Amino acid sequence: MARLARINPIPSHTATYRRVQDEVTQSHPQRERLYDEIEEHLKKDGREAVVVGFATSFSFPVIIEDRDADILEETLQNSNLTGKSLFLLLNSPGGDALAAERIVNICKSYSDDGRFSVIVPKMAKSAATMICFGAEAIGMSPTSELGPIDPQIPIFDAEGHLIRYQAAHEIIESYQQLLDMASRTKRRIEPYLDQLARYDSREIRWMRSQQQLSESVALRCLGSGCFQGMGARTIKSRIRPFLDPNYTKVHGRPIYRDVAQKAKLNVVSHDLRSSLWRAVWHLYVRLDHILSTHAAKVIETSKDSYIMGVGTHRP
């Protein structure tokens, strides 16, 4: 088994400031050999592997969206996948469910055998969890995190600035509770009507549609992935921790490897101190540095790298 990769050496004659700049900004050549190292570890039965890194920032307000699917497809177009296994190294807070569905379809379509695997170095939440659902296998360590897939609604202030995200089910449930109380009260109804005036019934209908969409995408991804051939009712029962907000209580609560295994997802367990996971972790730390300082998204292989700056993607 190959040793843990070192970062690409910079010739000794290279100016010190140039060397420091390359190390701090984490240009693509600094990560190339880590991709090669991980691919070497993932070789199985003589079948080579291709690792695609896909990471979006947790520091800047960006989401997984359709444009990402296009860039991922461009990356796979330029990759030789013949006779090789495809691995998506995924780290993201999530985004659009339809974009997640597209990404799953793209990975399967470009894969040599119609299958792909995911490796979660740290967090794959919300729509990123949906991408994991479409994979044949999900590589996780004890600290890797998946998350609930209930839709989150952006809340803006009067000037249009994003304040926070709120779970759609919380908004819908509070609206329904006010309606029920207004219909049952034998006292003045005006206080309830004043509060209901803050809601738009069309938006409530849209939120319910988003809930249905999230569930539909999850079921479709799993039904064509590791739960292939199972009925919708069985799949929903197995992934209750991901679907039912009452299980996790809050959207940001992690779903760790043990819960994913109990849900019968095809989880490949990795030891935190294994050579493979050390290489994965080294790559994650470098990608996280980029996405915490000056970039919004990274999609890359050992051969290609697409880095999208902050401000090029909508919140």
Q: Identify the band that residue 163 occupies on the pLDDT scale cut at 50, 70 and 90.
A: confident
Task: Give per-residue pLDDT as tens, 37-51.
Answer: 999 999 998 899 999
Residue 177's CB is within 10 A of a number of other CB atoms, namely: 12
CATH number at residue 244: 3.90.226
Q: Identify the band that residue 219 occupies on the pLDDT scale cut at 50, 70 and 90.
A: very high
Q: Among residues 102, 94, 96, which one has the least CA distance to residue 148? A: 94
Percent of the chain with pLDDT over 70: 90
Q: Does some domain include residue 70? A: yes
Q: Which of 86-95, 186-195, 263-272 has the lowest mean pLDDT?
A: 186-195
Q: Is the pLDDT of residue 9 over 60?
A: no
Q: Identify the band that residue 13 occupies on the pLDDT scale cut at 50, 70 and 90.
A: low
Q: Is the pLDDT of residue 94 over 60?
A: yes
Mean pLDDT of the chain: 88
Q: Does some domain include residue 10? A: no
Task: Give per-residue pLDDT as tens, 105-140.
Answer: 999 999 999 999 999 999 999 999 999 999 999 999
Has this prediction a pTM greater than 0.75? yes
Percent of the chain with pLDDT over 90: 66
Q: Does some domain include residue 130? A: yes
Q: Find the domain containing 264 and state its range.
A: 16-149+231-309
Q: Identify the band that residue 287 occupies on the pLDDT scale cut at 50, 70 and 90.
A: very high
Q: What is the pLDDT of residue 11?
A: 52
Q: Does some domain include residue 9? A: no
Q: What is the pLDDT of residue 48?
A: 96
Q: Does some domain include residue 206? A: no
Q: Does some domain include residue 185? A: no
Q: Does some domain include residue 11? A: no
Q: Is the pLDDT of residue 256 over 80?
A: yes
Question: Strand 267-269 relative to strand 137-140: parallel, antiparallel, unpaired?
Answer: parallel
Q: Report the domain count for the chain.
A: 1
Q: Is the pLDDT of residue 301 over 90?
A: yes
Q: Which of 11-25, 148-162, 191-205, 250-264 has the lowest mean pLDDT?
A: 11-25
Q: Does some domain include residue 39? A: yes
